[in-house]
Amino acid sequence: SQELEQSPQSLIVQEGKNLTINCTSSKTLYGLYWYKQKYGEGLIFLMMLQKGGEEKSHEKITAKLDEKKQQSSLHITASQPSHAGIYLCGADRVSGNDMRFGAGTRLTVKP
């Protein structure tokens, strides 16, 4: 099994609806990252969370970190077609540059 489990694997929502993507780690989190990948392209950094209870926002995207549960959630408010893509969570390992990623959540937003 993977170190980082994302759910759901895929999500189809109607434009304007809210949605949540979860990322759960089997190991202690030292830093949790969220990236977005447009189909066929590289990853774009969204935000990084380090402290338990931390919450950050980027436009209509909000991410929270629950350190005790070793879990992070990504919430999109009033989804738009531009939010479509694959969302990946990543986590630092203790050794520094050795980052691990979840398998990703594929989001489709229907106009």
- Decide whether 45 or 82 has the Cβ nearer to other proteins: 45
What are 64's two structure tokens? Answer: 């929270």
Whichever of 10 and 80 has its CB closer to other proteins, that residue is 10
Q: Which residue in the block uniquely carries the two structure tokens 């959540």? A: 105
> Of 14 and 97, which CB lies nearer to other proteins in the complex structure?
97
For residue 19, the minimal CB distance to other proteins (Å) is 20
CA distances from 4 to 18, 28, 40, 52, 89 (A): 23, 11, 22, 17, 8
Shortest CB 46 distance to other proteins, Å: 10
